[in-house]
Amino acid sequence: MKQVFFCVVIFVLSMLFTQCAPSRMVKPLEEKQHAITANVGGPLIGFAGTVIPVPFTALGYGYGLRANTTIFANLHTTSLLYGVIQTDLGVCRNFKTWDNGLAISSNLVANLSVDKWQGNFRFWPQLDVNVYKPFHEKKSFWYAGFDSWYELARYRAHDYRQPVHVFLNPHAGLQWGKKTHWSYQFETKWLIPYIKNTPNQIKYKAPGGNGAIGIYFGVTYRFAPKSQEVHSTTQAY
């Protein structure tokens, strides 16, 4: 019975908290660099006498279009298991970098979803802004910012009028790695902190009963085309 309830919870949350994902790109990739990403995590809920993050998962790909611009795409694999094809397509751009390494970047994202039952299509624009600061030979960085989602539909499920059209979610995180191709990401996010999460059958965990606290973990593997790797090695000698 608990397994069935948990499956229902995941499905409901995938509909209610469509913005349950960590920051896709904070620092742009190097020019012509590729990246494969995977992440897991979601809002904290009370379940079976404990507190756990809902295990939403996603797989993604990024490409360094220019030194300050990266394009990316992600597939939400948990939603896919429950019959909802959901993806996000976006571009990350670095706008300003100071002499001490502090920088500002932004993501412009198109979130798309369609269900397999009735073919209902949804589109949510998204804008993220981040401030980040590299450390450890610039292989790691901390960051903080917010993402903003925009609900374009006038009505939600069962023809209820949509009361909120802008969703703001502050977040902070850390991405770390060494001189290898691998890096790791930890992020915490306060989902819609200005909206009460009660009454609700799902017990969201957040200060003052507002919104939900999300926790996420991600892994990234970066690589360059073979020709570029060979060229870089030749230059080193």
| pLDDT, tens only, 139-168 | 799 999 999 988 877 766 556 676 677 888
- The CATH architecture annotation of domain 2-236 reads Beta Barrel (2.40)
d(CA 20, CA 143): 18
> Considering the entire predicted model, what is its pTM?
0.83
Strand, coil or helix: what is 235? helix
Nearest to 218 by CA among 189, 176, 180, 168: 176
What tens digit of pLDDT does each residue of 88-138 get? Answer: 999 999 999 999 999 999 999 999 999 888 888 889 999 999 999 998 767
